[in-house]
Structure 1
């Protein structure tokens, strides 16, 4: 559950269920990491059924638009960016933000960075999240919408795991040099992935919330406080428990042995520095955290540091510093509603 996108949803139906069944509700068993991880199981031997749709050369790299089967149904739209040569190359998965009204609320967000990294020896796979894929219809009923969003997050994690399969199956990607980069919604997804997918050795997680239930219950924001009062604490706790697989807090304490870089903006008001530092403490070593004079979109300094960090962790060739400076910023979408 992404609280900053959905905290104003009303789960009135859940209140009814809680009131009706409270008398005979069984005692709650403790949540176990081992059980939550199994929520993201899939058949690794299933065919990917990759379909290439478009292929072109750009800036010395090969860019292929394709799709592959999702274990949860449907197809995963993706872009594969390939360096020249035969490899072995490093592999990077990119996950975009979900900023409303952003023109790069899709796999295009990191395309320029992927092209840069291709010159240094990295194959990149950029995917569209389930909510921006063709045919996705948001539920109008508020409780059903909450469930739909949690299931979409589960699908996104599994689809990224299939993305790892796709990269490794190519034969030109070194399975010991795999990374994940996720922004906002997909930083949330990446937090879950850090505990689930141990083939990924490096994570860059940008402007993410990594403890959803705590975010709702600890917030002093008037709108969220009113939301808690309107729904009721017991109903909210039950809802979060039922969808615990979608809360990164249960996974980030199992991030090792992967290296994690967290990036936050000091002007990103929904994620104050104290909250970000609390998240950082919960990840396992090795880890690093950086703050920037920026909002939710972050800035050029953050871009430069994550590219250099990836180059170091994945043992890439040096990245052209001037080319990094030429990558356009996301713009001013961070001034709008956060995703």
Structure 2
């Protein structure tokens, strides 16, 4: 994580082209008031869909060594599009591009990033086929942290999957970018008191699925305990012999969760 400050946006598909049987990926730009537009993928089933007939998923990527951009969850979005799900995958800005500088400007950048992701959610909800009652959020690392903040304040999100979120928004800024210690670190972390993800993950109760990795260098038992205390109804799973990047078994479980909560349970209610 340390030293990673740009997004590669690799594996970029051409705008609005089929990428699999019955699936189209569109390269879109989402306007954000007061900010640069957000580049995103809109992944959807090909062909016309009935109004409010499809679930939607907002995918928020991590800050990592590989797939450090909106491509991280693209294979999963394509898989689900083949099953009738519409997805938006926005590109993150902070701290992917500018580095934290240790000032209150970092708080503003976090707030701006939440606002940008909210606009991405608006874009997803604006798709004619998307059912407003079946919108999920999936996030990893910083994507999970921003996801918790967004889902707490936006009731359009009905279920979410969080992968390895830190408890405190400023913690990694202080540790890996700024190398703050002692009172200086405490004062900096206090700037984010209203923006700590651990305090914003409980609204959805047991509709929250948190994936933890047993060998995660960045996330320890203290963080897992903090989420257990703040979100006691959340469903959690600890993956043995996995690190912060995660592996295929977590992907399988994540897709199963989304299918269950966006499709299977909805069909049962509709009967």
Please classify the TM superposition score into its range, dividing by the shorter chain length.
0.7 to 0.9
Bigger strand fraction: 2
Shift of 1:239: 2.7
1:77 is matched with 39
SS of the counterpart of 2:263? Answer: coil
Distance 1:164-1:212 versus aligned 2 partners, 3 A rule: closer
Q: Which residue is 1:44 aligned to? A: none
Deviations 1:239-275 (A, max 9, x none): 333333432133234x236710000110113322353
Distance 1:182 1:265 in 2: 14
Return the alpha-carbon distance in structure 1 between the equivalents of residues 191 and 217 of structure 2: 29
Aligned 8 A contact 1:178 1:314 in 2: yes
1:167-220 alpha-carbon deviations (Å, 9 max, x no partner): 222221000000000000111111212311111001100011123578999xxx
Change (3 A) 1:284 1:200: farther
- Indicate the residue corresponding to 2:119 in structure 1: 162
Partner of 2:248: 300
User: Which residue number corresponds to residue 124 of structure 1?
Assistant: 87
SS in 2 for 1:76: strand
What CA deviation, in whole Å up to 9, does each residue of 1:31-73 have, x standing for no partner? Answer: xxxxxxxxxxxxxxxxxxxxxx821011120110010111341
Pairing partner for 2:190 from 231, 234, 241: 241
Q: Which runs of 5+ in 2 are unaligned?
A: 4-13, 266-271
Provide the rounded CA distance (Å) in 2 between the counterparts of 1:81 and 1:169.
14
Q: Greater relative contact order (Cα 8 A, min sep 6): structure 1 or 2?
A: 1
Unpaired runs of 5+ in structure 1? Answer: 7-52, 318-339
User: What residue is the counterpart of 2:219 in the other structure?
Assistant: 271
Look up the match of 1:153.
110
**Conserved? CA contact 1:194–1:258, under 8 Å:** no
- Which residue in 2 is equivalent to 1:291? 238
In 2: Cα distance, 1:64 partner to 1:280 partner: 38
TM-score (norm 1): 0.66
Higher-Rg structure is 1
Residue deviations 1:257-312, cap 9 Å, x none?
67100001101133223531331331253x20001130001111110001000000
